[in-house]
Amino acid sequence: MDYKNLLVEFKDGIATVKINRPKALNALNSETLDELKHVGNALNDNKDVRVVIVTGEGEKAFIAGADILEMKDMNALEGMTFSQRGHEAFSTFENMDKPVIAAVNGFALGGGFEVALACDIIYASDKAKVGFPEITLGIFPGFGGTQRTAKLIGLAKTKELIFSGKTITAQEAYEMGLINKVVPHEELMKEVTVLAEKIKANGPISMKLAKECINKSLFLDIESGLLLEAKDFGLCFGTKDQKEGMTAFVERRKPTFKGE
Ligand code: CAA
């Protein structure tokens, strides 16, 4: 499918999704949300794709939030539907069978930061700024920000960010535990690609199962979480990848994982 608001590139098992509305600093309108949901599902089904990278087109922004022009005249029901549209779109990335890396190349504000938080790993440029300015617009984060941020950094730090609407540097976000790594701006895509290549070399089935266990850990009590882990761990032993990984170790060679 051709997308109006996204650029999608494929290279050696790595798919890169770029939000492509640079004139509006990649703000998310309904059409872009629907395209994100579509591409998320398509990449999940594409067995040739092992890792997904999400980034923004242009020098200035990853995504400057939900589209304020579109939201301005919404009524209550339209606001709720818009929020749910965002939830559906971002959940396709969070629940994708494969790892998703956000490459935050500039402003990641409001709904933009919420996209990054739905990804598995966040690398950011040292020029990036992040935050939740929604409160200054008379709303609050509605694309998962209240839920995913609180689970990541706890209630108090989340409330400080959301109640103040302040924008913080990538370094500050790193120190709060919101992002994985800050890299020099020019090095961002190189560093993200190095990580993607390292991840890509590993077994896709064990990766999918590990992601499921880690994501579910936020919602399960310890007993249920450990049971899920034991079952998913056991499933690995039904794969050719597990036999290949351990045989390669014994034979002192690098494994070749086929996702079987
Ligand atoms: N929605 C729609 N358009 C936006 C936008 C947004 N979120 N952010 C930027 N733009 C547009 C601007 O209107 C401007 O368009 P024009 O050139 O046609 O006037 C263009 O992008 C460039 O923006 P600026 O001129 O403002 O650029 P700047 O460098 O002076 O400022 C900025 C950059 C600080 C990021 C500023 O654009 C800004 O504050 N943007 C809004 C950030 C924001 O409030 N995000 C939260 C949105 S609400 C939300 O996300 C809700 C939710 O959780 C679901």
CA dihedral in degrees (22, 24, 30, 34; nearest 10)? 10
pLDDT tens-digit readout, 140-193: 999 999 999 999 999 999 999 999 999 999 999 999 999 999 999 999 999 999
Q: What is the per-residue pLDDT for 211?
A: 97
Residues of the chain by 3-state class (helix, strand, coil), percent to 5: 50, 15, 30
Whether residues 151 and 211 fall in one domain: no
- In contact, 67 and 28? CB cutoff 8 Å: yes
Whether 136 contacts 165, CB under 8 Å: yes
Q: Which of 185, 181, 177, 179 lies closest to 128 in space, CA to CA?
A: 185
Please check whether residues 125 and 152 belong to one and the same domain: yes
Chosen domain end from 200, 217, 237: 200
Q: Are residues 164 and 215 in the same domain?
A: no
Ligand 1 nearest-atom number relative to CA 112: 50
Instruction: Quote the number of domains for the chain.
Output: 2
Of 35, 57, 134, 229, the active-site residue reads: 134
User: Does residue 1 lie in a domain region?
Assistant: no
Mutating to test ligand 1, I would choose from 68, 132, 166 the residue with most ligand atoms within 8 A of its C-beta, which is 68
Q: Are residues 148 and 239 in the same domain?
A: no
86 lines ligand 1 (CB under 6 A): yes
Q: Answer yes or no: is the C-beta of 24 below 6 A from any ligand 1 atom.
A: yes
Q: Do 164 and 208 reside in the same domain of the chain?
A: no
Residue 80 is assigned to a structural domain of this protein:
yes
Query: Among 158, 179, 200, where does a domain finish?
Result: 200
Residue 52 belongs to some domain of the structure: yes
68: domain CATH number is: 3.90.226.10
Residue 9 a catalytic site member:
no
The confidence band for 1, taking pLDDT boundaries of 50, 70 and 90, is confident
Burial of residue 212 (CB within 10 Å: 0-12, 13-18, 19+) is middle
CA distances from 255 to 20, 63, 136, 205, 206 (A): 37, 38, 52, 14, 14
CATH assignment of the domain containing 235:
1.10.12.10
Q: What strand order describes the sheet that includes 121-125? A: 6-11, 14-19, 51-56, 100-104, 121-125, 181-183
Clarify whether residues 219 and 195 are in a common domain: no
pLDDT tens, residue by residue, 86-113: 999 999 999 999 999 999 999 999 999 9
Cα 134 to Cα 15, 80, 129, distances in angstroms: 30, 15, 15
* 259 belongs to a structural domain: no
Q: Does any domain span residue 190?
A: yes
Beta strands in 105-173 (DSSP E): 107-109, 121-125, 129-131, 167-169
Residues 140 and 185 in one domain: yes
Active site residue 114: yes
Same domain, 61 and 138: yes
Ligand 1 atom closest to residue 61's alpha carbon, by position in its atom list: 35
Residue 196 — very low, low, confident or very high, per pLDDT cuts 50/70/90? very high
- Structural domain of 226: 204-250
- Point out which residues pair with 28 in neighbouring strands: 66
Q: For residue 248, give both structure tokens.
A: 């390669």
Predicted local confidence at residue 127, as pLDDT: 98
Domain ends where: 200, 223, 241?
A: 200
Q: Is 111 part of a structural domain of the chain?
A: yes
pLDDT band at residue 2 using 50, 70 and 90 as cut-offs: confident
Same domain for 42 and 131, yes or no, is yes
CB 128 less than 6 A from any atom of ligand 1: no
- pLDDT, one tens digit per residue, over 43-56 is 999 999 999 999 99
Question: Which two structure tokens, joined as six digits, stand for 4?
Answer: 């109006």
What gap in Å lies between CA 146 and CA 153, rounded to an integer?
A: 11
Residues 108-151 have pLDDT tens digits of 999 999 999 999 999 999 999 999 999 999 999 999 999 999 99
What is the per-residue DSSP string for 32-91? HHHHHHHHHHHHHH-TT--EEEEEESSSSEEE--B-HHHHTT--HHHHHHHHHHHHHHHH
**Whether the CB of 144 sits within 6 Å of ligand 1:** no
53-74 tens-digit pLDDT:
999 999 999 999 999 999 999 9
The answer to whether residue 218 sits within a structural domain is: yes
Are 51 and 145 part of one and the same domain?
yes
| Structure token digits, residue 226 | 């450990």
Residue 225 lies in a domain: yes
State whether 26 and 135 are in the same domain. Answer: yes
> Do 110 and 12 belong together in one domain?
yes
